[in-house]
Structure 1
């Protein structure tokens, strides 16, 4: 399987959680890594932390600030892609905001638009812009992120589940529209990340898996790196959910 050593990887949402795990894994495999998120302090802190993972603290990792929540999201993404030196080999999109979980009778049009801005519109616009900045050919890839909520319904998840499930269809169609650039999707279950707050995820979540455990960013990162390396994978989804779809 091809190596990603020497590849240029951009991780949108790479300052924490799963994205940070992907960045650390890519650095360990010899890639040049660019991370982006909306919080400048977190970006700078994460860049330093990632540098510290290598001997001498000189890992080739670079940080960028990009706001995906504004009306100028397309322009912000274009500026981000332009800021990465040279052609990009792989783009990973792990950015997300709080899940729009709400009773159906409280949903309005503004909520619908807001719920899809970061998790659906931003990756679609990334795909629109990507070919101008990526190395052409099937060796390059764009990997998006959904979640187990796209495959199993939960009460009050109708709003966000629509977007999570839509990413499956979006991925398949982008793989056709952007060929031979490869486009794939990762669908994690509950993962221990800062998204859960200081207390972390509840122990009850572990009981909704067959493994009795939640995923870690380091484990889930393997799925993204695999999809970068497998030059025969496109339009595909890897689900890494601890068996949460089985119980």
Structure 2
């Protein structure tokens, strides 16, 4: 007689879309979902990175090779954004619906001093992280199982809870994601909608700094934490797995921040 698997099988056989899944947190969410037996579709703006991520996942999980698919979808151009999302959804399997969607996509936008703020810079800070998820939600219902066992999880940053000088242009868009998540939890019910709020995570976006500058930045991040380290993507991915697996959590913000709010 085998043991029951009431908890570890919650994602087994589920179909999960990870937008922003070619690297960083999204890639880790895809890994964790595969280990729980899910079918994964990853989407990202760069076709080469999508193909590389699919191969990397298939190499890491050879028994799950048939459960991994990737598609390119440009989320940064407002002029084509809606058409691109419609096309992405049209490529999903026709015989079954999604169970979960995780939005981890977000283009790197450097902090802009308030004196240099412009409408275009403000919009560029909001397109991928705030505007695009709204457009996805608009077109998603026919492709997503309408059940409290289904979920959408958005992503924002700890600047929403702990303001950073010089981040006013960026902070508004990040805070808007929290309002969006709560509103979508009502508009898309019974599907659950939550937001994961992350602190510093060692993702490719941090690779823009090298050498001494990188060391100084990491030291500053470590000094602000209570864990004494910068989080790895696989640590933060647990928050997304939780939001998918807890059928009772909706309209909430789950924080994974290395304890920076305590300092």
Measured against the shorter chain, the TM-score band is over 0.9
Task: Kindly state the Cα deviation for residue 56 of structure 1 after the two structures are TM-superposed.
Answer: 4.8
**1:123 is aligned to 2:133:** yes
- Correspondence 1:16-165 to 2 at 5 A: 16-56=23-63, 58=65, 60-70=67-77, 71-85=79-93, 86-165=96-175
- Correspondence 1:229-240 to 2 at 5 A: 229-240=245-256
CA distance in 2, matches of 1:100, 1:194: 14
Contact map agreement 1:100 1:159 (CA 8 A) in 2: no
1:244 corresponds to: 260
Contact map agreement 1:145 1:186 (CA 8 A) in 2: yes
Task: Kindly state the Cα deviation for residue 140 of structure 1 after the two structures are TM-superposed.
Answer: 0.7
Gaps of 5+ in 2: 1-6
1:207 corresponds to: 223
CA distance in 2, matches of 1:226, 1:59: 24
Contact map agreement 2:34 2:64 (CA 8 A) in 1: no
CA RMSD of aligned residues (A): 1.4
TM-score (norm 1): 0.96
Contact map agreement 2:218 2:230 (CA 8 A) in 1: no
Gaps of 5+ in 1: none
TM-score (norm 2): 0.90
2:206 corresponds to: 196
CA distance in 2, matches of 1:155, 1:189: 16
The number of residue pairs the alignment matches comes to 247
SS in structure 1 of the partner of residue 40 of structure 2: strand
Runs of 4+ in 1 over 3 A off after TM superposition: 198-201
Residues 191 and 59 (structure 1 numbering): CA distance in 2 closer, same or farther, change over 3 Å? farther
